[in-house]
Amino acid sequence: MHSASSIPAGTINNLVDILTSPGEAFQALKERPTFLVPLLAVILSNVALIFWYYSQVDYVWLIETTIAQQDLPDDVREQIVENAADASPMVTGSLAAAAASVMVLLMLALMAAYLVIVSFVTNDGYRFKHWFSLVSWSSIPIVVAMLASTVNLAVSESAHLPQQELNPLSFANLLALDVSGGGLLAGVLQAVDLTSVWALGLMVIGYRTWTGKSLGSSFLTVAAPLLVIVAVSILFAVV
Amino acid sequence: MTRKLLIILGIIGLAVAVPVVRSVLGGGNVLTVESQVLERLAIQSSVLASGNLAHEDEVQLMSEEIGRVTALFIEEGNHVKSGQLLLQIDDEAHRSAVEQNAAQVRLQEIAIERQRLRLENLRVQWERQRMLHEQGLVDQDSFDLMTNDLGLAEVDLLSNREQLSQALAQLEEAEDRLRKTQVYSPIDGVVTSLDIKVGETALSSTTNVPGSTLMTIANPDSIHTEVNVDEADIANVEVGQKANVYAIAYPDTPISGVIDSIAVSAKVAEGAQGLSFAVKIRLDPPEGVSLRPGMSCRAEIFTTTKENVLAVPIQAILVDEDRTENVTSYSVFVNRGGEARKTAVKVGLSDDTYQEVTEGLTEGDEIIIGPDRILRTLEDGDLIETAVS
């Protein structure tokens, strides 16, 4: 890992270019694919936010609010709250942070693996390290979401801030929608925010830059897994 | 480069501005709390104690004579009157004893009559002897002998009379023991416990054997409770104070009572460790409540009552202790236009549910009373929406 003072100038340029001139960033990455800096940035910003959230929130209230939406017998509910009162929120926060880190890594690796399969089919010559580099750098906008969430945590009544209201850039929060009722659409509106759309856009640009394919073809290729997931979810919801 | 820097700054600015604007415009977190409008109430401070029910007028009957029970004239639960015959103990031996003693009395009376006649006869003979002695026809020895016989006869008569008294006393004792084979009720009441059956042997109370009680009769209208008040609380308890008593069998039915007496000295109650004072509470049971002696109960003794005072639920009071200054301060949260405002208050009397507020609040104020999970982390100025209870 590079220290801050010895981060190569190329990495700093990439960090700036990925947000301001993504085409240039991906052109540079095509020759020298890297992933460590963006990966660490995404994971560490995620972990820091989770730790700070759990250090601020009223943990018992959080558990009560979480289980309130579930259909549980009263005695089970009381037992869960009692156990929560004895538990350490920072232990739970540590577990949540570890789980989030693993999830980020897994999602990026899966996306990269999918693009490897596409490369195998299209025979474009790119390998796993290229695609992992592309998806990692495309995830940099998530750091912006983490920043916005951190500011939100600072300015709000943090002891009773629900997890679903933590990210102010989610479509549910931006549009001030009441998604407490649950459901597929509510879940999508909570999970998807401006930066995830931005990240998808960066992947499309990166894929187009590397493969030379059209914008539409690049979008379909990159967004295919997401479209499949959405379609399957809708199918399950309807059925 | 300047363009790129501006874009970066613009992105960071948006990331900061969006949550700040949301918070300023009131899109921040609004907490749902419970509230109650402040009103004037009566507060009764109380002392809690536990004890048992008992009858004030209660007697445990024991036999004064040992014998087999030949007849029972009552059953458990029966109402009885004072003087009513309750049971019969086998009296054959006692009747025999009375007959024997009566016969002994008659014998003594006969002996007295015999002795009286003998005495009269001896007096006549003595008089004759005296006249003959005066005429010199009877010697001195013979006259002295007669005189002695007369004296002895008088003594014998006295002795017979004393023996008659003794026989009469023994007869009276035998008759008394015969009477004691019939057990009568000393009071009006109900047979609350019948511990003997026909054919069993009633033991005399003088044997001091546990369980020699025949039955227990109690006046059901005299039921009271005796509770043990901890020595730390007894200073506030006085005769005449009202109390609510809850029998274990009727946990939701308060039975009103009044303190009748307070023990003078403390003792360690059975099953307890600390010292307590026995307090008797006279009860006024409502209709439909069947109280029985021995029932466990708990009592709430109302020591002080204040009418028409401003009071808030106890859970709404926040306590702040400053250990360095040894000062305790109190506050509540009040709903002021959708914001929770922490207000310092001074408190007075309290009971299990409410705390008197002497300063800091006005009648009609909307006090935030819960839920506890929100109240304990609520801060001055937090946005709230209330469900008034």
Reported as a single tens digit per residue, the pLDDT across A39-48 is 999 999 999 9
What secondary structure letter does DSSP report for B353?
Answer: S
Q: Is the pLDDT of residue A51 over 70?
A: yes
Mean of pLDDT values over B167-195? 93
Give the residue among A118, A117, A115, A153 at the shortest CA–CA distance from A136: A115
Question: Which among A20, A143, A144 is the top mutation candidate for probing chain B, defined by the most B β-carbons within 10 Å of its own β-carbon?
Answer: A20
Q: Is the pLDDT of residue A176 over 90?
A: no
- Partners of residue B8 in chain A, C-beta under 8 Å: 16, 19-20
Mean of pLDDT values over B37-45? 90
Spatial separation of the C-alpha atoms in residues B244 and B235, rounded to whole Å: 19
Q: What is the pLDDT of residues A182-203, one digit of tens each?
A: 677 777 777 788 899 999 999 9
Backbone angles phi, psi at B239, to 5 degrees: -65, 140
Q: Is the pLDDT of residue B30 over 70?
A: yes
Q: Which of A5-19, A200-214, B230-244 has the lowest mean pLDDT?
A: A5-19
Buried b (16+ CB within 10 A) or exposed e, B308-329: ebbbbbeebbbeeeeeeeeeee
**Is the distance from CB of B207 to CB of B65 less than 8 angstroms?**
no
Please indicate whether, in this complex, the C-beta atoms of B382 and A157 are within 8 angstroms of each other.
yes
Q: What is the pLDDT of residues A94-117, one digit of tens each?
A: 999 999 999 999 999 999 999 999
Question: Which among A21, A81, A155, A173 is the top mutation candidate for probing chain B, defined by the most B β-carbons within 10 Å of its own β-carbon?
Answer: A155
Please indicate whether, in this complex, the C-beta atoms of A157 and B29 are within 8 angstroms of each other.
yes
Q: What is the pLDDT of residues B143-169, one digit of tens each?
A: 999 999 999 999 999 999 999 999 999
Spatial separation of the C-alpha atoms in residues A19 and A141, rounded to whole Å: 8
Which value, to the nearest 10 degrees, does the dihedral of the CA atoms of residues B365, B369, B373, B379 take? 20
Give the residue among A91, A99, A102 at the shortest CA–CA distance from A54: A91
How is residue B230 written in tokens? 């901890």
User: How many alpha carbons lie under 13 Å from residue B266 in its C-beta half-sphere?
Assistant: 13
Backbone angles phi, psi at A7, to 5 degrees: -65, 130
ipTM over 0.95: no
Residue A36 amino acid letter: L
Average pLDDT, chain B: 89
**Is the distance from CB of B101 to CB of B167 less than 8 angstroms?**
yes
Residue that has been written with the tokens 């990925």 in this structure: A18
With an 8 Å Cβ cutoff, the interface of chain A facing chain B consists of 16-17, 19-21, 58, 60-61, 64, 144-145, 147-149, 151-152, 155-157, 159-162, 165, 168-169, 173-174, 176
Percent of chain A exceeding pLDDT 90 equals 44
- Residue B374's pLDDT band, with cuts at 50, 70 and 90, is confident
